[in-house]
Amino acid sequence: MYAYAIADVPAPYTVKARGRHGTESLDLTIPVGLKREYGIVEGDVFLVEVDQEGDDLLICYKRIHKAESPE
């Protein structure tokens, strides 16, 4: 286990791919700092673009729909 909470790590952020029960999909956590700074909420929709050069993998998320913030 980590000695710190992933959400408490300052930019640049580090996230860990986590398995989801009952599926082969993986989840990447959006750190709370990014969530707050950019107003990311549940229901936002992102386009995922991938670029790979050798062992380097860049996964880019572009928000294409902003959901209404729960109040």
Domain limits, the chain:
6-65
CB atoms under 10 Å from CB of 31, counted, come to 20
This prediction has a pTM of 0.72
User: In whole angstroms, what separates CA 22 from the centre of its chain?
Assistant: 20
Residue 1, pLDDT score: 47
Q: Which contacts qualify for 40-48: CB closer than 8 Å, 24 or more apart?
A: 41/66, 41/67, 41/68, 41/69, 41/70, 42/67, 42/70, 43/67, 43/68
Q: 6-65: which CATH architecture?
A: Ribbon (2.10)
For 38, the enclosing helix (H) or strand (E) is: helix 32-38
Average pLDDT of adjacent 10-residue blocks, the chain of 71 residues: 54 85 91 92 96 95 92 67
